[in-house]
Structure 1
Amino acid sequence: MSGALSHIRVLDLSRILAGPWASQTLGDLGAEIIKIERPKAGDDTRHWGPPYVKDQDGQDTDDAAYFMCANRNKQSVAIDMASEKGQALIKELVKECDVVIENFKVGGLKKYGLDYDSLKAIKSDIVYCSITGFGQTGPYANRAGYDFLIQGMSGLMSVTGHPGDGPEAGPVKVGVALSDVLTGLYAVIGVQAALAHRDRTGEGQHIDISLLDVQVATLANQALNYLASQKVPQRLGNSHPNIVPYQAFATSDGHMILAVGNDGQFAKFCQVAGLDGLADDARFTTNTARVENREALVPILQDAIKAKSLDWWIQNLEAAHVPCGPINTIDRVFEDPQVLDRGMKMELDHPKAGRVPSVGSPLKLSGTPVAYESAPPVLAQHTQNVLRDILNLSDSDLEALDAEGIIQI
């Protein structure tokens, strides 16, 4: 690869989502990713289906769509890390790598001699990124952490969902594993920072990143709303705690997002909506006033917006430069001309399925663009090539290890 990180080799011991999301992002940027998987089984998410990717005959393959979302631009090497010979192979690979990413429980790799201290002893400048639910320290360190659990414990779910006590009210998780994805992205930031430090000093380091830390950090304005006021934020459904109107509204034939970000946009909205004088009402002139008088304002807007169609609102509000948009289902997202123009829907060549769908990277770099070199690999697809090319194992060595169940080729 010729990307910005094409000089970096990553040994990926992670599975599920947070770790693989990090290594996929590094791979998109050009890093060589060697994904270590269990022989015969592989990453757990290979089996998290249906749906599964279909082969060229329309039959399900062994790989779930879930696995395909986070594992492109990687080489699959199947090694049994529970065996001494498997551990020895992994340690030899570490000597040839810049980064290790793992998401085992705290201390889980120590028994295999694959923890940070053990690997630092054989490669002092290794950048070693550990992803866990709660971090390497603290009273929860030994607990298992999962995205759904973290969304609840972090407070995210307490501000997500319909307000009040009605039948539709209550805390709701985000519809994707957001804590995992954000943790993967923060892991990438940490890895790149550690690599920059290594390049200046020759020193590697251990990156300790947890889902709970990440999700608390990314509470963003909701966290500071509480810390500054000591008032506990509540669920507001599709409304915003600090901006009004900034929420979903029903039109005559669908739903629309209205995202008024300043007082000028509110005045323009009122002109389009025919709500003459509303923007001059002292209760609504400023955003601060609108937040304080939300309960009086929103019903007025709801009645006005309900009177016209979704298309009418979008056409006229966009012409007036008032931010708005539809609430798309995912099928409509991948038909959206902006999404298509930006290359967010794509296909990659796959050894079993012919072509498989993929979602493009949002990173658009002018000098070192993201490269899509390969689809997510089939299990053990690259075991022979990696062990032969990097560790100089012979075909007879590989066949013997395969016969013992140490590797899968």
Structure 2
Amino acid sequence: MTAALEGIRVLDLTRVLAGPYCSMILGDLGAEIIKVEAPGGSDETRTWGPPFKEGVSAYYLCTNRNKKSLTLDLKSREGKEVLEKLVRESDVVLNNFKTGTMERLGFEYDHIKEINPRIVFCSITGFGETGPYQQLPGYDFIIQAMSGLMSITGDDQSGPQKLGVAITDILTGLYACIGIQTALLERERSGYGQKIDLSLYDAAVSSLINIGSNFLMTGKVPQRLGNHHANIVPYQTFRSRDGEMVIAVGNDRQFAHLCAVVGQPSLASDPLFSTNAKRVENREALSYILQELFSQEKTAYWQDRCQEKHIPFGPIQTLEDVRNDEQLKARDMFLNLEHPKAGNVEMIGSPLKLSRTPVDYKQHPPDAGEHTEEILTGLGYDKNTIRKWKKDHKV
């Protein structure tokens, strides 16, 4: 079976998260990913931990399957020569160096497109390649702070909070996938590649959606609402007798059903709560009433009652709960790969479900330089040359 992106070669000069996440998605879809690192390995996530399994970092494993690993000293004449050969035979160059690094290495976009006019060149930086912040280093935590995301996460008691994962890296990796595939499609019409300039900062601000729109419309700076929704009530967490859960009532009909479920049908016609706008105005009063009622029964009880009435409901699950969730098992969202050092490793799978060209998991996350000899041999280099370059730390 032909994979969706079979025949597309990506030179992946990225490390840590946003870039590797993007290239893993492309690899899952069938693209050939050549992960380029400095000799010995320069992706910092190889050493981030614990946890490790037989010296292999869980962090590194999570975003580097379906790739081949090539090590090159890009400051050396030999490394530059190899990269130029690969550029000629590739479709995409993906990098997340600081602004100006590719220029210093001699591989700025203008030079790369001279080598291969069809190349799609995607640059991921913290703040983009233009503007007064272009030289600043970009880290997810800093971007969450600066973008406004932390100012609306948490509550009055907690203060600003970051999300538990590096969400701006993930968002930027997804945007990179969209941009790369869009440029590849456009190339079919024009015959030419193009440059994509992505920043974590831009991606984070784009994710503000309705909260950003609320501010732009009113000029009112949004406040931290914890697990409450700015525009919809009740759309929040509640404590049950044995845990915590989320209710997400999206309209007045669902609210009426919820009132019946908790044994207080008259709440639906109460002038303070009869419309969503009124419920937003009287958020605290309604939340207090509902919390008193929800605390009387266990989460499973409320889950069954809400689902019977088609009221959006979800228990707050631990990762152990998630791992054992029958829905995720049915969707093949966990997989096992054999790794030459770590042995059998369990990974989170791809959410992409394509009917004719499904994702495939062919390659374990590679050791640094694991495929160097294979790739260089394919470019026409003999084993003696490769052996000498390895001895001299050129590859």
State the TM-score bracket (shorter-chain normalisation): over 0.9
Cα deviation, residue 356, structure 1: 1.1
Helix, strand or coil for the counterpart of 1:194? helix
Match of 1:22 in 2: 22
- The match for 1:376 among 365, 382, 387 is 365
Cα deviation, residue 354, structure 1: 2.4
Instruction: After the TM superposition, list the runs of 4 or more consecutive aligned residues in structure 1 that deviate by more than 6 angstroms.
Output: none
Q: Confirm or deny that 1:363 pairs with 2:356.
A: no
* 8 Å CA contact 1:38, 1:79 repeated in 2: yes
* 8 Å CA contact 2:28, 2:361 repeated in 1: yes
Match of 2:92 in 1: 99
| Distance in 2 (alpha carbons) for counterparts of 1:327 and 1:154 | 27
Match of 1:57 in 2: none
Cα deviations by residue, 1:229-254 (Å, 9 ceiling, x for unpaired): 11111100111001100000001111
Match of 1:393 in 2: 381
Bigger mean CA offset, 139-148 vs 79-88? 79-88
Match of 1:46 in 2: 46
Match of 1:139 in 2: 132
Taking only aligned residues, the RMSD between alpha carbons, in angstroms, comes to 1.0
| Distance in 1 (alpha carbons) for counterparts of 2:324 and 2:364 | 22
Helix, strand or coil for the counterpart of 1:34? strand
What is the TM-score normalised by the length of structure 1?
A: 0.95
| Distance in 2 (alpha carbons) for counterparts of 1:266 and 1:95 | 60
Where in structure 2 are the equivalents of 1:333-348 lying within 5 Å? 333-348=322-337
* 8 Å CA contact 1:98, 1:127 repeated in 2: yes
What 5-or-longer segments of structure 1 have no aligned partner? 55-59
Q: Which amino acid in the other structure matches residue 44 of structure 2?
A: D
| Distance in 1 (alpha carbons) for counterparts of 2:107 and 2:61 | 27
Q: Confirm or deny that 1:403 pairs with 2:384.
A: no
* 8 Å CA contact 1:160, 1:235 repeated in 2: yes
Match of 1:268 in 2: 257
Cα deviation, residue 226, structure 1: 0.6
Q: Confirm or deny that 1:236 pairs with 2:225.
A: yes
- The match for 1:183 among 169, 172, 175 is 172
* 8 Å CA contact 1:17, 1:181 repeated in 2: yes
Q: Which amino acid in the other structure matches residue 380 of structure 2?
A: N
| Distance in 2 (alpha carbons) for counterparts of 1:207 and 1:276 | 55
Cα deviation, residue 296, structure 1: 1.7
* 8 Å CA contact 1:39, 1:405 repeated in 2: yes
Cα deviation, residue 123, structure 1: 0.9
Match of 2:7 in 1: 7
- The match for 2:234 among 245, 254, 275 is 245
Match of 1:148 in 2: 141
Match of 1:304 in 2: 293
Cα deviation, residue 42, structure 1: 3.1
| Distance in 1 (alpha carbons) for counterparts of 2:231 and 2:80 | 53
Match of 2:110 in 1: 117
Q: Which amino acid in the other structure matches residue 190 of structure 2?
A: T
* 8 Å CA contact 2:256, 2:265 repeated in 1: no
Q: Which amino acid in the other structure matches residue 390 of structure 2?
A: D
Q: Which amino acid in the other structure matches residue 328 of structure 1?
A: Q
| Distance in 1 (alpha carbons) for counterparts of 2:64 and 2:41 | 16
Helix, strand or coil for the counterpart of 1:385? helix
- The match for 2:247 among 250, 255, 258 is 258
Match of 2:36 in 1: 36
Alignment coverage as a number of residue pairs: 395
Match of 2:340 in 1: 351
Cα deviation, residue 387, structure 1: 1.2
Helix, strand or coil for the counterpart of 2:212? helix
Identity of aligned residues (%): 52
Cα deviation, residue 385, structure 1: 0.7
